[in-house]
Structure 1
Amino acid sequence: MENTWTCSCRADLPALTTLLPSVMGVAYSVGEVDHLYTFFVQWSPNLYSKHGRRQSFLVVNKDKLAVIDSLLRNPFPENNWEIITVRKAKHSLSICSSQSTCTSDEEVDDTLPLLTQDSHILLDHHIQSLAGHLPARIQCCPWRLVYSTAEHGTSLRTLYRCTAQVERPVLLLIKDMHKQVFGAFSSDPFRVSDRCYGTGETFLFTFSPEFKMYRWSGENSYFVRGFLDSLQIGGGGGPFGLWVDADLNHGATFSCNTFHNQPLSAQQDFTIQALEVWTFH
């Protein structure tokens, strides 16, 4: 323990201010940091040598040490504070879902990511199932709504315009008229293109009737292709894994070579009730 603080407790209060919240789990004022600083110096006897003083360590008297001891024993008024995880604090600001009801903290999964807007499709169990399968680099990122038929109307051209400035992966969610939820994660934002794009991170998924996901089979690279009159995901010598039309009213889903998936909906030709595209900060 002494070796750890020998590297950290130099006479550099701004650096210590940054360090303490992450180590102690509490935010301190500058005055409290002064007291804590002296406490850690007093805590390490080897720092009181002449060698320690030459390296700008401070030696404190017992009165200041008593203040530190009091601060650490009772830092906050009784019953006015609690310890929570960062994720749970974020989730309290999240949708918790516009179509589900949060009850007690015990019933809320504190691993849910933050959604910056309400969703007309996502429920907590959808988010929980999807979050763990996203690429590691975005698993802790907040989710931001880029396009929604409820807000932007039903137009594939509008969807392309909304994703034009996006530079991160996107999540396509569809709810059909039978209230079945399914979609795709794309490593690249949707755009009109003259060839297929994307990487092996792209996958299809469905919650019809339970969560299943279909990762890249490695058989081909027909991940995503955007046309003005349709958006196609997956393919190869036959039907598409997921297809939606220019008006975002109708779609189709079939087994495809790219993902070796089963149809994502019980109705291979479906009518869209709601469609959303999310990205990750």
Structure 2
Amino acid sequence: MGVAYSVGEVDHLYTFFSKWSPDLHTKCNKTHKQRRYLIREKNHNGYVVVEKDNKLRSSSPTDKNWEIITVKDSKRRLSLCSFEDSEEDVEETLPVLSDQSLLLDDLHLEKLAAHLPARTQGYPWKLAYSIESHGSSLKTLYRNMAGLDSPVLLVIRDMHQKVFGAFCSSPFRISRGCYGTGETFLFCFNPDFQLYKWSGENSYFVSGNLESLQIGGGGGCFGLWLDADLYHGSSFSCPTFHNAPLSTHKDFLVQQLEVWTVQN
């Protein structure tokens, strides 16, 4: 449960920071990005977000029952359920990639992080498949997904240098019908970031066979479609996400493709 404090109580918090964590209380110039910390009561789950210029305090500023931790540490200490209640107050940290990505930079990660489910936060992302490492084969992609039980992030760069893809709540697999949940979404950077969440109109999230992989559908159109060689693709507006085509060309050729999965 979060804790609220009045503006008039700033001086006590200043004393608290200076006395118990002088190493965290440092001056910074205006060009330096603010670092955020949390004040946590050791026996409770309440947190207070503190920035350099904010004026907040604990009710007992010299009480050693309180400690200061970073936002990153708080995500690892809280259960995913309890963290959902406070995520509006806590600045998102960038997902940690365990391998080097040819497609994702910090800007991409920052935009995506704000929309990833709470259950993925605080865990590193592992590269499960890439054309660079594994060749261009949908069969290989399915094989690399076998045995996984975690969400996946599909990222594509086409021959026109457009980056787009999908977050899927389940690993890709061959299926008789559609699978997945409303956590699934489409996205693109063309160049501005666009996100297309589940519309609720149908549940055609993901389906796959040996010939193709489809994400989103309805009315004979797929939000994102890839062929067996992961070379030809297409993207049309579909009822599942009410998305615009993800690429500047509805039919495109894949230059690079990566699939990331949560490593928990």
Match of 2:95 among 81, 88, 113: 113
Counterpart of 2:14 in structure 1 is none
Query: C-alpha distance in 2, partners of 1:110/1:184?
Result: 20
Kindly indicate whether residue 176 of structure 2 is the aligned counterpart of residue 190 of structure 1.
no
Give 1 or 2 for the bigger CA radius of gyration.
Answer: 1
- What is the CA–CA distance in structure 2 between the aligned matches of 1:155 and 1:253, rounded to whole Å? 19
Q: Which residue number corresponds to residue 271 of structure 1?
A: 253
Matching of residues 44-63 of structure 1 within 5 Å: none
1:218-273 C-alpha deviation (Å, 9 max, x unpaired): 00000000010100000011210000000011100000000000000101111101
1:248 to 230, 243, 255: 230
Q: What is the letter of the counterpart of residue 190 of structure 2?
A: S
Hey, what does 2:112 align to over in structure 1?
Answer: 130
- Using the aligned pairs only, state the percent identity: 63
**Displacement of 1:279 after TM fit?**
0.6
**Take 1:139 and 1:84, find their aligned partners in 2: how far apart are those partners?**
17
Tell me, yes or no, if the aligned pair for 1:233 and 1:242 is still in contact at 8 Å. yes
- Structure 1: which 5+ residue stretches go unaligned? 1-22, 27-82, 89-108
Q: Write the deviation string for residues 18-39 of structure 1: whole angstroms up to 9, x where unpaired.
A: xxxxx98x9xxxxxxxxxxxxx
Deviation by residue 1:180-239 (Cα, 9 ceiling, x = unmatched): 100001001000001000011100000112101101000000000001010000001121
Q: Does structure 2 retain, via aligned residues, the 8 Å contact 1:185–1:203?
A: yes
Question: What is the total number of aligned residue pairs between the two structures?
Answer: 183
Match of 1:229 among 187, 211, 219: 211
Asked if structure 1 preserves the Cα contact closer than 8 Å seen for 2:151 and 2:170, the reply is yes
2: distance between equivalents of 1:84 and 1:217?
A: 38
Aligned counterpart, 1:180: 162
Q: How does 1:56-95 map to 2 (within 5 A)?
A: 85=70, 87=72
Q: CA deviation at 1:130?
A: 0.5
Summarize the Cα distance change of 1:194–1:140 in structure 2 as closer, same or farther, 3 Å threshold: same
In the other structure, the counterpart of 2:123 is: 141
Q: Structure 2 matches for 1:25-40, cutoff 5 A?
A: none
What's the RMSD between the two structures over aligned residues? 2.4
1:139 Cα deviation after fit = 1.8
Q: Deviations over 1:129-164 (max 9, x none)?
A: 101100011122111110000000000000000011
- Which structure 1 residue ranges, 4+ long, deviate > 6 Å from structure 2? none
Establish whether residue 167 from structure 1 lines up as the match of residue 149 from structure 2. yes
1:260 is aligned, of 224, 242, 253, to: 242
TM-score (norm 2): 0.66
What amino acid is the match of 2:234? A
After superposition, residues 201-240 of structure 1 pair within 5 angstroms as: 201-240=183-222
Give 1:200's aligned amino acid.
G
If each structure's strand is expressed as a fraction of its own residues, which one has the higher value? 2
- TM-score under structure 1 length normalisation: 0.62
Counterpart Cα distance in 1 of 2:240 and 2:234: 16
Shift, 1:84, TM fit: 9.5
For the pair 1:157 / 2:121, whether they are aligned, the reply is no
SS in structure 2 at match of 1:171: strand
Q: Counterpart in 1 of 2:32?
A: none
